[in-house]
């Protein structure tokens, strides 16, 4: 017999409608329903003590204010355990922490005129060129400090940088936190999968050319993120990946499972939960080659967990505020796991498994 599913029983909205009522009772079909499923899956299953949650960020989310308004509250509630972000999102999120202003405008401007007036436009966001120069000077000064004069992974770089950002927010009396300062305080490791592809990477490169000792270690990032997922599956219980957009951050978070299974030959089944918000399409190659079912073929997603995967074809700037508000109303905050402080412990556990499996395979 055909399962007819949930009866669609719409009701009129009222003036006192809540975010919970909107999501549970009014997002009934199409991608609205996928957004409802993502919200409910997070609140009811994923954000439990036995699941580690990784978040990936691509697209210009933080200039639009979503770092302050959404990502920071998720971090502080203990719902985000580790992050993979484009460097641009981390860079632009520092502007407000340094006392700089960004403005909302209509997106129809003469860009040659804006260039003449030294104004920068990100679609309908506008700010003075001096905002970039001020942020550049801050980052360049910070990475010249003695503690940065070595090779390090991006989690260590961002943690140390986040401490300086946090202190600058305190000095300036800025109450709203950036992603880096919130992650620093919560011990949430933040990785950049393409560290050279952002202004932070450009500054590090220029300073290194001038004799600075800082360099970034992508192999360390690969091993640390893989160690986090191995820790999630073997010690905590389950692993969830929440993807905003796609691109390099998405693959970097998902490749942790092929790293375990294919490269290190450690028996594993894939991530247990997969939520993606995207406006890309798989048939043009723009979905980074991984819908949940396609990701199963790579070992990225546990095939037994496909019912616990959701792809919502929607812009992240629409979906993320709704998801955040729903979680704040319906999910229970979790204790901070402070995975940054446990990186060596998790790496040692991964190395032991790698060596043991290699010895077993050789016999």
Cite the active site residues.
300
Number of helices (H) and strands (E) in the chain: give both, helices first: 16, 11
Name the token pair of 321: 């505020």
Q: Which helix (H) or strand (E) holds 313?
A: strand 309-313
Residue-wise over 48-58: b if at least 16 C-beta within 10 A, else e? eeebbbbbbbb
The sign of the torsion formed by the CA atoms of 167, 173, 175, 176 equals: negative
Which among 273, 280, 347 is positioned nearest to 310, based on CA atoms? 273
Residue bearing tokens 């001096």: 130
DSSP state for residue 310 in the 8-state scheme:
E
For residue 102, the tally of other CB atoms under 10 A from its CB is 18
Question: What CA–CA distance (Å, rounded) separates 192 from 288?
Answer: 17
Question: What gap in Å lies between CA 248 and CA 353, rounded to an integer?
Answer: 27
Tokens of 35: 């957004």
Contact 38, 326 (CB under 8 A): no
SS3 sequence, 62-102? CCCCHHHHHHHHHHHCCCCCEEEECHHHHHHHHHHHCCCCC
- Rg (C-alpha) for the chain, rounded Å, is 21
């Amino acid at each position: 017999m055909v399962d007819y599913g949930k009866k669609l029983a719409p009701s009129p909205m009222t003036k006192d409608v809540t975010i919970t009522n909107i999501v549970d009772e009014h997002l009934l079909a199409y991608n609205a329903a996928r957004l409802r499923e993502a919200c409910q899956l997070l609140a009811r299953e994923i954000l439990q003590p036995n699941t580690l949650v990784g978040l990936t960020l691509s697209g210009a989310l933080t200039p639009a204010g979503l770092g302050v308004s959404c990502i920071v509250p998720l971090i502080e509630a203990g719902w985000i355990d580790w992050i993979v972000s484009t460097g641009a999102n981390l860079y632009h999120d520092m502007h407000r922490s340094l006392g700089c202003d960004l403005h909302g405008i209509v997106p129809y401007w003469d860009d040659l005129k804006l260039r003449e007036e030294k104004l920068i436009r990100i679609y309908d966001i506008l700010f003075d060129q001096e905002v970039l120069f001020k942020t550049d000077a801050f980052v360049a000064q910070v990475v010249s400090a003695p503690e940065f004069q070595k090779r390090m992974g991006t989690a260590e770089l961002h943690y140390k940088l986040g401490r300086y950002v946090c202190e600058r927010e305190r000095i300036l009396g800025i109450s709203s936190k950036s992603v880096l300062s919130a992650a620093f305080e919560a011990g949430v490791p933040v990785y950049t999968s393409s560290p050279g592809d952002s202004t932070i990477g450009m500054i590090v490169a220029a300073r290194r050319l001038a004799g600075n000792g800082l360099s970034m270690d992508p192999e360390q990032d690969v091993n640390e993120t893989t160690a986090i997922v191995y820790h999630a599956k073997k010690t905590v219980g389950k692993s969830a990946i929440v993807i905003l957009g796609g691109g390099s951050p998405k693959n970097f978070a998902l490749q942790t499972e092929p790293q375990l299974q294919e490269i290190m030959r450690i028996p594993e089944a894939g991530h247990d939960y997969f939520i993606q918000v995207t406006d890309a399409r798989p048939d043009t190659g723009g979905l980074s080659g991984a819908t949940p079912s396609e990701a199963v073929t790579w070992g990225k997603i546990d095939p037994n967990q496909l019912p616990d995967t959701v792809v919502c074809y929607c812009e992240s700037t629409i979906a993320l505020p709704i998801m955040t508000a729903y979680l704040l109303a319906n999910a229970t905050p979790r204790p901070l796991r402070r995975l940054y402080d446990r990186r060596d412990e998790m790496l040692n556990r991964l190395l032991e498994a790698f060596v043991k499996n290699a010895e077993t395979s050789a016999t």
